[in-house]
Amino acid sequence: MPSCLSPPCAAIHTPQSRMPVRNIWRHALQGELQLIIGPMFSGKSTELIRRMRRYQHAQLKCMVVKSKIDDRYTNESLVSTHDRQMMKANPLKRLEDMGEEFMQYDVIGIDEGQFFADLHSFCDVAANRGKIVIVAALDGTFERKPFQHVCDLIPRAESVTKLSAVCAICGSDAAFTRRLVSSTAVELVGGSEAYQPVCRNCFTTPLATKDDEMN
């Protein structure tokens, strides 16, 4: 027993009473939704990977999922950034394909969220059930129209981070994505051969044709 000269908490703060880091996190863990949005080449996947690694260092159980249709830089089982940072990921057609598997994890990261039609419903359910959900997604199409199931998450998110890229034309901050190919499909997987980040002024400037570039 502590003597009358001992500090009041001397018998409590012993090495045996220290809680493991992961248990401290889990004790305080509450569901939340973090949204990372912006144009292509703005570092959304890079930021997603950074946050997921931080939670991994805190010894939380983490899972990353990606769309099966996005295989631009690597095989299906990895999230890859434009500069080839990689993290293991589960490829899915729909988020509901996870069933109850997500309940085994503390943190769920979703890359290229605009490709998931059931993004809104899954994120709401998972966060309400105590999971930290981090979504990296385009907020707008190449026509600057909203990806509605992404934008619908904004009023339900605890945090929203809007990233900028570098305009491929003038070097200014770029908030928009311009398509370089003639397809009108809203969802068209591609990299720098098909898209470029642009600022407001350059977005409204017509694309130069090959004939223009030669003159």
Residues with catalytic function: 112
Locate 10 and state its tokens.
């001397």
Tokens of 132: 């930290």
Q: What is the DSSP letter of 167?
A: -
Residue 208 lies in a domain: no
Asked if residue 198 has pLDDT above 90, the reply is: yes
CA dist., res. 208 & res. 185, Å (int): 21
Average pLDDT, the chain: 83
CA angle 6, 10, 14 (to 5 degrees): 150
b/e string for 72-86 if b means 16 or more Cβ within 10 A?
ebeeeeebbbeeebe
Does the residue 197 lie in any domain? no
Domain membership flag for residue 130: yes
Q: Give the per-residue pLDDT at 79.
A: 63
- Residue 91, C-beta contacts closer than 8 angstroms, at least 6 positions apart: 65, 66, 67, 68, 76, 77
17 in a domain, yes or no? no
Please state which of the ranges 75-84, 132-141, 147-156 shows the lowest mean pLDDT: 75-84
1 located within any domain:
no
195 is in an annotated binding site: yes
Query: pLDDT band at residue 9, thresholds of 50, 70 and 90?
Result: very low
Tell me, what's the pLDDT at 126? 97
Residue 85 domain-assigned (yes or no): yes
Q: Strands of the chain (E only): list them.
A: 32-37, 62-67, 78-80, 86-88, 90-92, 107-110, 132-137, 159-162, 165-166, 173-174, 176-179, 195-198
pLDDT tens track for 157-184: 999 999 999 999 999 999 999 988 877 7
Question: Is residue 56 domain-resident?
Answer: yes
Predicted model pTM: 0.79
Length of the chain: 215
CATH of the domain at 104: 3.40.50.300
- 143-167 average pLDDT score: 97
Domain count, the chain: 1
Alpha-carbon dihedral angle through residues 180, 50, 86, 100, given to the nearest 10 degrees: -100
The answer, yes or no, to whether residue 213 has pLDDT greater than 50, is no
Nearest partner of 45 among 32, 31, 68, 64, judged by Cα = 64
Helix (H, G, I), strand (E, B) or coil at 136: strand
- Domain limits at 67? 29-163
**Predicted confidence band of residue 77 (pLDDT cuts 50, 70, 90):** low
pLDDT at 153: 97
